[in-house]
Amino acid sequence: MQGGDEGPVFFAIDGTWAVPLGEADTIARGRRAALHRVYETPDGRALEEGAEIPLGSLVRVRLFVYTEESSPEVVALRDPLPSGFEALDADHDTTPQAALSALMGTGPDDDAVDARAHHAMRSLGSIAHRSFRAEATSFYFDRLPVGLAEYTYAIRATTVGEFTAPPSQLDALYDPDFVARGTVSRLVVVERE
């Protein structure tokens, strides 16, 4: 206090409550939708939990969504990025179809499409908007298609270390009961030999 002023002093404190990731995050959850994330090498081999990924490597992220009924309107699919990775196509230089074709190694003149891209190609029309941010990649939909859909994008390993990817999340803006959650994943980035 200055100059002998006495009286009450008020402070405003702001905080955020966060619960650490734990055993419950190893189980996928959802009543009306299912969500599953798979990390793969560019040639389609699944990366097992804790597999070593060389620095600078491309990793394909495949998000599978399954619904047996029509979804509510305005749905968001958010996939948090593990630290030490960055999403590619962050400048939105390409359309979702062009980005997926490049990721799968096909071009506009190719007559055949890699069979692994079948569900992802079929699901492209449902994407209303996509967002690549430092902390997460998000896909937004006016409505999800019924059945199995796949949303695929790429990340690149940028930092050496062991990283945790929080679970993917699916939710509807106007229906709080339409939610699904994937599982936590662990990725290890090592120096190139």
Per-residue model confidence as pLDDT tens for the chain (193 residues): 455 678 888 778 877 766 777 777 778 888 899 999 999 998 889 999 888 999 999 999 999 999 999 899 999 999 999 999 999 875 556 667 666 666 666 656 666 556 666 667 777 888 899 998 989 999 999 999 999 999 999 999 999 999 999 999 999 999 999 999 999 999 999 998 7
Q: Is the dihedral of CA 105, 111, 114, 117 positive or negative?
A: positive
Q: Hey, how many other C-beta atoms are within 10 angstroms of the C-beta on 144?
A: 24
Helix (H, G, I), strand (E, B) or coil at 23: helix
Pairwise CA distance, residues 144 & 161, whole Å: 36
What residue ranges define each of the domains in the chain, with the CATH number in brackets?
32-190 (2.60.40.740)
Residue 102: its H or E element:
helix 96-104
Pairwise CA distance, residues 138 & 101, whole Å: 19
Helix (H, G, I), strand (E, B) or coil at 100: helix
